[in-house]
Amino acid sequence: MRTVARGVAKFFVANFAVVMAIMLLPVFLVTDDVALFDSMMEYLFSNKS
């Protein structure tokens, strides 16, 4: 059950990350250091969970 809950959470975070990336496109043209986006990517692609 925990695995399913983690999978559902990652699904929603991944969709939110796509929306955030689209909204932050002008910011990414200026800098690549966006802490919130970096923390979401770390959560999605870490092997710990």
Whether the model pTM is above 0.85? no
pLDDT at 3: 86
Residue 2, CB-side half-sphere exposure with 13 Å CA sphere: 1
SS3 38: helix
pLDDT range class, residue 1, cuts 50, 70, 90 = confident
pLDDT at 49: 53
4-42 pLDDT, tens digit each: 998 999 999 999 999 988 988 888 888 878 888 888 888
CA 49 to chain centre: 14
Q: Which residues contact 1 (CB under 8 A, 6 or more apart)?
A: none
- Residue 46 φ/ψ, nearest 5 degrees: -80, 150
In this predicted structure, the answer to whether residue 44 has a pLDDT above a threshold of 60 is yes
Q: State the residue for tokens 């689209």.
A: 22
